[in-house]
Every structure is written in structure tokens, then in C-alpha cells.
């Protein structure tokens, strides 16, 4: 069994504010009504109840969990829905209004049909929910328990995760075996990911899918940079990314030098403010850490991509590459493919090469993120914020190192540096909202990712602490961490800061 998780599972386009508390429960509710439909039991349903256990019950309202459940019962999918249809779907549910299940079957529904049980923790995972359907006589028709295991992934009681690993030809269990695999076949880490992806999809579909992920990420950055106002919830947190963007635009318009580091922070703030507002975001690998990878990738796109792609990345005539040029690989399958197309003007060529770089960035991050998911956790409820922000920081550091021409061991070193300095990071959101300290935390971690990449690129890839040792330490630390510091808002900042 390989640790590898497809990029299209690890980076899913969804809605804010939480992959585990919003996206996962929405998918679980949608799966439940689909199962009712598949068994031809949907028409007999007259009532549905959903019980939210543990962390879902404790901070569900702040994370929009009951809204997501109602949206899922209605048949909405986080990948394709209008985020506005999810916001307040339960919070402002009209009294006496029937609920249409999967767009087909109308049943009576009341807000009390969502039950909160924060003190009850099911053994399968801290994020658990049970959905029960009854007929008109009050007899149970179906009952399913789901676990939202982080990153929008769900697991139904009695089944495995929603991840499909079949068909991946390049298997690895940990970072050591990934590096050995790369050495054996003369491949980069990104190339391993590419070959796994193209084993189950065409190269054109993989490129288009990665472009769609990046388009959603960059659109989220842009939306956040141009949105003012106050975020929803009792904290009344003021958006800052737009103000910072205006200040930086003014500085640069006056002829002063660009400020890449400050833009990096603004990019991350923009994404996480959009996430907190329930907007369209990409789990990377979670919503709580969704700003780090887009911020670092945008930093490379805007400030580094055209000034040098890294050592060994020669510009060659378009069409002469024997490697996967479409996905950003050179003739030996390793170097970033910077190309010249006679049919494109220089600006279009630069755009095309940046896109190839972003694909390589995302593939590298996917290969690394798979290690955290398989061998530790990406769930804040399970491992604390180290599992979310730490994993995302490591993925971003590795991706940046790759597009800057780093070797496989430099990439692994960058990921190790980034994760090592997030060990023990707690998850204690004030008021159960993904706002404080979450938004600023993404900006800080984006900066850490860039620093980790630069440190790794200055070395030769050799280092004392391995990425595998850090991943295992993160797993052990998460297991030892008190549950009150893992997304329940029962400790830390959540209880030491007044919420008004």
C-alpha cells in the first residue's frame, strides 16, 4: 500500500471555513442521502437527525458544521456549490420550511434536528457524526456514522477512507523509500507524483486539473486582496489583506522597490480571510492551513519565476523536450522545463513557463503531503495545529525548493526544516472560529516555508534529522497532546482571551 495520495484528493476545491468541520460533514451528509437514494429508501424518509460528536459538536457552530450538513442533505457538493448557499443554511433556517433531500424528497425539518454532543467522543476519530433517517411511522430506515478525518476526507464506520490508491505504479511508504525510489529510477520527487497521476489520468487531464487547482488558489488570493469589511462571527475580526495590498500598491507606484516578503504575508492573509468568510478555497491540505501553499506559490510566480528558474533549467526550443514538457519536466525528466514557443510572444511564453512551474510545485507538495497523511495526521482535531499548518508549511517549502532547482534531498531537507519548527503547535481557536490565531498563523508559516527552502538550497541536502523522524515525532506529539489543545477551544488562547 502506497502512501501516495492523488493531488486531486489532497487539493480539493471546496468552501470555508474548515475542511474537517465544513467540507467533511457536507460530504458525509451528501453521501448519506445518496445511499438512501441508491437503496430506494429516500422516498420513505420523513425525518432525519444528525448528531455531532466531540470536536464537531464543540466548535461546529463557529466552523459552520450544521450549515454544511444541511447543505449536504440538500444535495450540494463542496466542489461545485455556490458558497453563499452553504452560509447560514442551518443558522438562518426558516421555521416550518420543509427540507428537500438531494433535490427530490421533501421532509419536515427543524434546527433541533441537528444535535450537539461535544462531551461524547467516539473511538474512531474526534470528528464524528451520526445521521439517522426515519419513516412516517417513526421506524428507523438507515443510520450511518462518519468520521471527518481532516482535509475534507471522510471515513464511514466500517469502511476505509475515501482515498483511492489503486493504479499508482510508484509506491513508497515514507520519505526514505521515496528518495530511494527516485534514486533507483533517476526521477525527481515531482516526477514520481506525475507518473502516479498519469497512470490513472491522461497527461492533458492532469495538467488541466492542476491548472484548475492553481486557478482556484489564485482567485482566492485575488478575492481576499480586494475584500474589505468584517469577518462573520462574534469576534468581528476586521479584514486586513485588502488594506495591506493598497499600501503596497501605493509604495510600488511611487517607484520604490517591490516588497516580496510583505506581499507573501498579504497573500496568506487574503486566502485565510476568504476561508473564514466561507468563500471558495482549496484544501491545502486543510482549510485552516489553506493560505500557506497559495501564498508561497504566488510569491514564486510573481517575484522569482521570471528571474531564474534554478540551476540546470535550460531554455530549449518548444517541442524538443523528450520529458513531460506539459507538466514541467525537462529532457531527462528532472529539470524544470522552461521553453520557447515560436507561436507565442515573450509574455505568453513566460506565462506558460510559470504554469509549468506551478504544476511541478503542486506535484512535489502532493508527494510530501502524502507522507504526513499516511504516517501522522493532517487533522487539527487529531494532531493539533502542527498537523495542519506544519504539514502545509513543509509541503510549501518542498514545492518552492523544487521550482528553484533543488535536488530531491534538498527538497526533503526543506520539508524537514519547516515541519521541525512547528512541532507541538496547538489548535486553540478563539470562539471556535478559524480566525484567531489561524489567519496570522498562515502568514507566519508562509514566511517559514520560504526560509526553510532558502536554507535547504544553500546546503547539499545532507542533514542530521530526517523528514521521517520529524513526521513520526509529530505523530507522537499529537497523540500525547491534551484534547483541549486540539480544535475543541477548551484551552490555550481560546480560554485566555476574552471573546468580546
Q: What is the pTM of this model?
A: 0.88
Domain boundaries, the chain: 16-156, 175-496
CA distances from 234 to 62, 369, 439 (A): 9, 33, 16
Query: Who's near 35: CB < 8 A, 6+ residues apart?
Result: 142, 144
CA 455, CA 283: separation in Å to the nearest integer?
A: 27
* % of the chain residues with pLDDT over 90: 78
Chain Cα centroid distance, residue 497: 28
Question: Which residue in 468, 427, 500, 497 sits closest to 179, CA to CA?
Answer: 468
Reply yes or no on whether the pLDDT at 309 is more than 50: no
Average pLDDT on 123-149 reads 94
Give the pLDDT score at 160. Answer: 67
Query: Who's near 114: CB < 8 A, 6+ residues apart?
Result: 49, 50, 52, 66, 69, 70, 90
Reply yes or no on whether the pLDDT at 304 is more than 80: yes
CATH code of domain 16-156: 3.30.1330.90
CA distances from 156 to 71, 140, 160, 165, 381 (A): 19, 18, 7, 17, 17
CA 494, CA 427: separation in Å to the nearest integer?
A: 9
Strands 140-150 and 127-134: antiparallel
Average pLDDT on 413-433 reads 95
pLDDT tens profile 94-113: 999 999 999 999 999 999 99
pLDDT tens profile 236-257: 999 999 999 999 999 988 877 7
The mean pLDDT of the chain is 90
CB 8 within 8 A of CB 141: no
Q: Among the listed ranges 296-310, 329-343, 449-463, which one has the minimum average pLDDT value?
A: 329-343
CB 91 within 8 A of CB 168: no
Within 10 angstroms of residue 38's Cβ, the number of other Cβ atoms is 9
CA 425, CA 436: separation in Å to the nearest integer?
A: 14
Average pLDDT on 250-275 reads 92
Give the pLDDT score at 313. Answer: 39
Give the pLDDT score at 364. Answer: 98
Amino acid at each position: 500500500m502506497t502512501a501516495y495520495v492523488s493531488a486531486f484528493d489532497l487539493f480539493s476545491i471546496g468552501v470555508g471555513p474548515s475542511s474537517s468541520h465544513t467540507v467533511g460533514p457536507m460530504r458525509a451528509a451528501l453521501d448519506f442521502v445518496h445511499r438512501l437514494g441508491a437503496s430506494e429508501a429516500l422516498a420513505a424518509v420523513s425525518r432525519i437527525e444528525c448528531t455531532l460528536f466531540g470536536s464537531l459538536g464543540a466548535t461546529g457552530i463557529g466552523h459552520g458544521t450544521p450549515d454544511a450538513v444541511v447543505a449536504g442533505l440538500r444535495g450540494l457538493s463542496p466542489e461545485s456549490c455556490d458558497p453563499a448557499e452553504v452560509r447560514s443554511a442551518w443558522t438562518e433556517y426558516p421555521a416550518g420550511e420543509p427540507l428537500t433531500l438531494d433535490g427530490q424528497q421533501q421532509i419536515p425539518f427543524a434546527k433541533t434536528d441537528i444535535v450537539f454532543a461535544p462531551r461524547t467522543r467516539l473511538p474512531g476519530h474526534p470528528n464524528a457524526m451520526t445521521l439517522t433517517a426515519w419513516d412516517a411511522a417513526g421506524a428507523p430506515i438507515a443510520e450511518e456514522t462518519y468520521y471527518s478525518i481532516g482535509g475534507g476526507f471522510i471515513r464511514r464506520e466500517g469502511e476505509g477512507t475515501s482515498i483511492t490508491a489503486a493504479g499508482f505504479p510508484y509506491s513508497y511508504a515514507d520519505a526514505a523509500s521515496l528518495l530511494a525510489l527516485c534514486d533507483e529510477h533517476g526521477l525527481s520527487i515531482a516526477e514520481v507524483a506525475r507518473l502516479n497521476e498519469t497512470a490513472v489520468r491522461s497527461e492533458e487531464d492532469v495538467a488541466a486539473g492542476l491548472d484548475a487547482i492553481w486557478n482556484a488558489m489564485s482567485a482566492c488570493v485575488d478575492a481576499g486582496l480586494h475584500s474589505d469589511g468584517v469577518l462573520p462571527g462574534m469576534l468581528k475580526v476586521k479584514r486586513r489583506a485588502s488594506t495591506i495590498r493598497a499600501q503596497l500598491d501605493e509604495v510600488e507606484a511611487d517607484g520604490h522597490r517591490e516588497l516580496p516578503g510583505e506581499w507573501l504575508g498579504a497573500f496568506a492573509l487574503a486566502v485565510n480571510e476568504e476561508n473564514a468568510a466561507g468563500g471558495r478555497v482549496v484544501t491545502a491540505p486543510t482549510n485552516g492551513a489553506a493560505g500557506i501553499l497559495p501564498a508561497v506559490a504566488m510569491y514564486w510566480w510573481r517575484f522569482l519565476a521570471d528571474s531564474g528558474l534554478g540551476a540546470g533549467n535550460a531554455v530549449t526550443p518548444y517541442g524538443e523536450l523528450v520529458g513531460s514538457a506539459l507538466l514541467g519536466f525537462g529532457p531527462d525528466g528532472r529539470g524544470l522545463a522552461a521553453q520557447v514557443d515560436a507561436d507565442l510572444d515573450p509574455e505568453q511564453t513566460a506565462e506558460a513557463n510559470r504554469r509549468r512551474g506551478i504544476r511541478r510545485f503542486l506535484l512535489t507538495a502532493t508527494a510530501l503531503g502524502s507522507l504526513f497523511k499516511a504516517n501522522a495526521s493532517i487533522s487539527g482535531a487529531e494532531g493539533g495545529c502542527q498537523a495542519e499548518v506544519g504539514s502545509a508549511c513543509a509541503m510549501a517549502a518542498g514545492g518552492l525548493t523544487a521550482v528553484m532547482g533543488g535536488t530531491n534531498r534538498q527538497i526533503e531537507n526543506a520539508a524537514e526544516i519547516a515541519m521541525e519548527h512547528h512541532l507541538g503547535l496547538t489548535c486553540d481557536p478563539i470562539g471556535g472560529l478559524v480566525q484567531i490565531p489561524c489567519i496570522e498563523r498562515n502568514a507566519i508559516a508562509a514566511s517559514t516555508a520560504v526560509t526553510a527552502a532558502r536554507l535547504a538550497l544553500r546546503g547539499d541536502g545532507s542533514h542530521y534529522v530526517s523528514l521521517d523522524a520529524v513526521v513520526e515525532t509529530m505523530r507522537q506529539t499529537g497523540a500525547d497532546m491534551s484534547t483541549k489543545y486540539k480544535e475543541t477551544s477548551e484551552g490555550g488562547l481560546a480560554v485566555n482571551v476574552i471573546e468580546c
